[in-house]
Amino acid sequence: MTAATIAPTRLRLGLVALAVSAFSAFGTPALARGPEGIADVAEKVIDAVVNISTSQTVEAKGGGSNTMPQLPPGSPFEEFFDDFFKNRRSPGGGSKGGERGDNPPRKTNSLGSGFIIDTSGVAVTNNHVIADADEINVILNDGTKIKAELVGVDKKTDLAVLKFKPTKPLVAVKFGDSDKLRLGDWVVAIGNPFSLGGTVTAGIVSAKNRDISSGPYDSYIQTDASINRGNSGGPLFNLDGDVIGVNTLIISPSGGSIGIGFAVPSKTVVAVVDQLRQFGELRRGWLGVRIQSVTDEIAESLNIKPARGALVAGIDDKGPAKPAGIEPGDVVVKFDGKDVKDPKDLSRVVADTAVGKEVDVVIIRKGQEEIKKVTLGRLQDPEKVQAAVKTDEPAPEKTVTQKALGLDLAALSKDLRTRYKIKDSVKGVVVTNVDANSDAAEKRLSAGDVIVEVAQESVSSGADIQKRVDQLKKDGKKSVLLLVSNGDGELRFVALSVQ
């Protein structure tokens, strides 16, 4: 299976020439060849690294003998056969010689990487390596091929656990502590790049806790060790021979390594693997809140210095946060003794906390810290996320009761609820038009949004909003915090300039 790839928008190739000139002028550094321990690590762990072979039955496309054979992704023959079979197709895309175009289903094969964590026959790989496979095989370093069964997968971290019956004694590796990694530490990647079999590459830790927006719990190790298509699911080792990550993603315009690869840290892998082995599924903690970032403007409005934490924008009526007394507008700054710097921190720490555990949640409410005790629920998977549907913006109301903050505002009426499809449960002041040059437009407020609170006080008319804004200006405030609802009642906070 291919390694997941992210294509960068630009490549600054001029830096290459600059680097060459620098080394030409000053000579090769004495330590450029890397530490001598790499060979010892490779020799110690190579037999624990396996290839993962999968097959899948698919409907054939095209027809007859002109159907291109399925090749491992990244194979050097892939481009050759692609051109060859394109040239053999007749004009218009049909097949030659009256061949039939309705071929029977056929099997496709792909290869990835993995590693053994238990000599009884347990291996770890990426979920995308084995996704939708009809058959999975583990291929040992000596070429022995053994059929494997799927124990469980976690799509959010792209991890999977396999089990198989060994035909000979196995070598297993153990996990190290990814939290102890430092920038610049040497690491070793072993896997099956371009279907070439066990391949060893080395590099350093380029970054930690990297968020590349590929999932809700991103916290990748970034490395410049060569990781290519087919390395997916393979281990990243420290110089003690411990697994400190699972190679998962690369940034590349071509599918080959350019020195930017990402691995799921062992701290995350261990927790996921333990649950998959025990339950066959993930049982993540659930707080029952919808959160957003605390911007500098929001922090100023809430008297929080410095800007930090996760702002609670909404509460699930059936979630654990509601009975604990957590409310929209609260800012979570600590969870179960761990600091929360941003929403990602909160998402990760909640997910890693055991279901049913009672934890202390430190919030800031109206400038004061409070502690709430919450008994965590269980996050249901798949998580139900409703995608926002963009609709044509209705024409603004003819009668506008008030203008403020670049907004045309009106008290909610039956006609306006019908026009903007606003539920009866939503209370506040409806936005009927937005000045295109205003701060409100930049913050993506639009007609049909409902302002529920201004500076954490309920409002029911445009006059209420103007009164609150005038008072904030008088108090020397630079921004005002609005609690905004859409027609379905989903809330978010927006800070607007009052200058």
Q: Tokens 């403020």: give the residue.
A: 404
- Expressed in angstroms, the distance from the first to the final Cα of the chain is 55
Catalytic residue among 154, 158, 218, 224: 158
- Contacts of 429-437 with C-beta under 8 Å, sequence gap 24+, read 429/459, 429/460, 429/461, 429/462, 429/464, 429/465, 431/407, 432/396, 432/397, 432/400, 432/408, 433/396, 433/397, 433/400, 433/407, 433/408, 434/406, 434/407, 434/408, 435/406, 435/407, 437/406
Strands 4-6 vs 243-251: parallel, antiparallel or unpaired: parallel
φ/ψ of residue 300, rounded to 5:
-65, -40
DSSP state of 183: T
Q: Is 158 a catalytic residue?
A: yes
Query: What is d(CA 478, CA 493) in angstroms, rounded to the nearest whole number?
Result: 16
Pick the catalytic residue from 195, 219, 226, 232: 232
| CA proximity to 115, closest of 103, 104, 105, 123 | 123
Is 439 one of the catalytic residues? no
Q: Please give the Cα distance from 479 to 87 (Å, whole number).
A: 64
* Alpha-carbon separation of residue 273 from 136, 152, 159, 218, 269 (angstroms): 18, 9, 8, 17, 6
Choosing from 128, 252, 257, 449, the catalytic residue is 128
* 274: annotated active-site residue: no
Residues forming the active site:
128, 158, 232
